[in-house]
Amino acid sequence: MKTIVLFFLCAIAAHASVNVLPMSPKIAEPITIEYVPVDADVAWATSSKNFHAVFFAFNRDAEAPVAVEIPLSKSDKRWTGKFTPASDVVYGLIKVGDGIRYDINGEMFWNVLIHDAKGKILRDAHLKAGIAAFGMLPQECRRKQDLEEAEAEMLEEVKLYPNNTAAQVNLVMLQKNNKEIDATEANARLKEIADGTKTFSSVVEAISISQAYKQIGNTEEAMRVMREASSKFPGSKIEEQSKLEELANATNVTAYLHAINVHLLAFPKTFAKQNLLDAAIQSAARGGNMRELVAFLDNTPGISAITIYQAVNYIGANDSLRKDSYRLIDKGLAATSDVSIRPTYISSSEWNEQQRISKSLLYFVKGAILSDEGKDEEGLAALKTAVELGGDQTDKSVYEQYVKTLVKVGRKKEAANIASAAISKGAATQGVFDAFRTLMREQGMDSASAEVELGKLRDQSRKLLARELTRSMLNQPMIDGALTTLDGRPLRISDWKGKVVLIDYWATWCGPCRKSFPAMQKLFEMYRNNPEVTFAIVNVWERGDDRVKIVNDFLKNNPSLTFPVYLDTNDSVVSKYGVTGIPTKFFLGKDGRIQFKEVGYLPEEQFLEESTNRIELLLAQ
């Protein structure tokens, strides 16, 4: 068993349009949403049984929006729906989809600013739009970060409502971040704003004033503001924030788990709930505190199915806790039907799809534990259910465990069929590829014939994956930057415009980077004679002063690596790409836009399969 990073739902790259009518919607008046998909997505929209828009409604004080689901019906080439936002809504984000996939307008969503009866944009509407542009909302409504746009929204808010303290503070911080003012000027303006605000009328305003004082180094005043606001707004985010800070005082894992449990009991709807649950699991896993984790899961109400799945991945590996694992799996399965757990920012359709996948994963881990205990037939029944529930979204590891268990019990023909199905669907891991080859040979097929058969299955998967890959393209604007060759020649990423580009950020000290290079070399060999494909293996974050020597020495010791290596000499380019860990790869289309991103290390065959599919798709555009 292993922990799996999950992406439940697919967002599609789109150039569709959403029209909101009237164009300047007013408080508590009906809004019509018109969606016009691109030609490639008409069939998707037409065939969907649950095509809808999700309107993420933001009011002034709530930390997260409320997701409102609006059914859409087809009229000619448009899909339309109507609803009336609540009277306290000032701003909204829109996406369109069917619960499994969503058109999120190239990660930007569609924006709606609510107006008053006289047609003026409501107070805090631009503020909320700016906060959305920070790119830090929950995954379901997280739009792409654009701090310049965030600044523009804050500026509009201040123009319309000069006394909006929260917008004033955010504007100054953004102007400093965007290097339009220096730290001295920023601190002076923040001090003026904070000192000039004698009382605060809202939670958001109080938090902004506290942040301003923190920014200028006056922690005493920042704490005073939070204390006063906590008293003025009991049960609010401010009171919770002070409690969250107390979690850091826990002296051991047991105390930490207890503190999180107490916090979640006090703030059951906290915006930080999932982060706290993830932290609880990781801290227990690192410390090997599995019994404490079991007790935590038993004593903390409202835990989602996916959280239980993630925990059981660790707990199930402990032989003495198998009974607890089965009991927790049952608790997780029950949680998939508990609508009270659904956060307000997730629509009902999206939540239902997430629960379907969570249920599939719970049956997967149950099957793995049963098989590990020698209860193979029961395990196979659970794994079959996992595949049936997961459908086209079945996790690749489910297929690997299913094939492995079938081989274990001698049902090799069935194992071959499942492996073939996984490969043809583009859902194969390295373990499935290896099992398929072994099973074909055991059926009397020579290695060459097995590879031919494997190639046919891969061709089937590419036809299916082409559509999925097109939908999952990021379509992010080009990020240019200056690199140098090992002999000191300068170049820019924009010089490669017109080609498909694979950028791989790495460092000599990075084990997974080095481990990935044999596969990268093979991929490079496949395309080295194609003038439309460029590889850029970019060295970053090197731990030494003479980066050129360090990289050259590495390449001398690894003469089989002949792919092009470049230097990001001051690590400015990798910073602009927002990389937080290496290896991280980016696939750029011919227009320079970023279309795919891959973080971490994949087994060789899986990497070659997925990378080839991406490159071929980009070449065809």
**Active-site positions?**
510, 513
* Parallel/antiparallel/unpaired status of strands 101-103 and 10-12: parallel
DSSP, collapsed to helix, strand or coil, labels residue 484 as strand
Q: Which residues contact 56 (CB under 8 A, 6 or more apart)?
A: 65, 66, 67, 68, 92, 93, 94, 95, 109, 141, 345
CA atoms within 13 A on the CB side of 422: 30
Q: How far apart are CA 331 and CA 356, in angstroms?
A: 15
- The residue with tokens 């590829």 is 433
Cβ-contact 582, 485 below 8 angstroms: no
Cβ-contact 470, 13 below 8 angstroms: yes
Cβ-contact 564, 531 below 8 angstroms: no
Closest to 386 measured CA to CA, from 422, 431, 340, 349: 422
**Judging by beta carbons within 10 Å of its beta carbon (0-12, 13-18, 19+), is residue 560 exposed, middle or buried?**
exposed
Amino acid sitting at position 34 = E
Cβ-contact 101, 470 below 8 angstroms: no
The conformational region for residue 480 under phi > 0 = left, psi -120 to 50 = alpha, else beta, is beta
**Judging by beta carbons within 10 Å of its beta carbon (0-12, 13-18, 19+), is residue 580 exposed, middle or buried?**
exposed
* Strand partners of residue 21: 32
DSSP structure string for 435-469: HHHHHHHHTT--HHHHHHHHHHHHHHHHHHHHHHH
Cβ-contact 269, 235 below 8 angstroms: no
The conformational region for residue 111 under phi > 0 = left, psi -120 to 50 = alpha, else beta, is beta
| Structure token pair of residue 246 | 């107390």
Angle at 190 between CA 184 and CA 195, to 5 degrees: 125
| Structure token pair of residue 597 | 């991103």
* Strand partners of residue 109: none
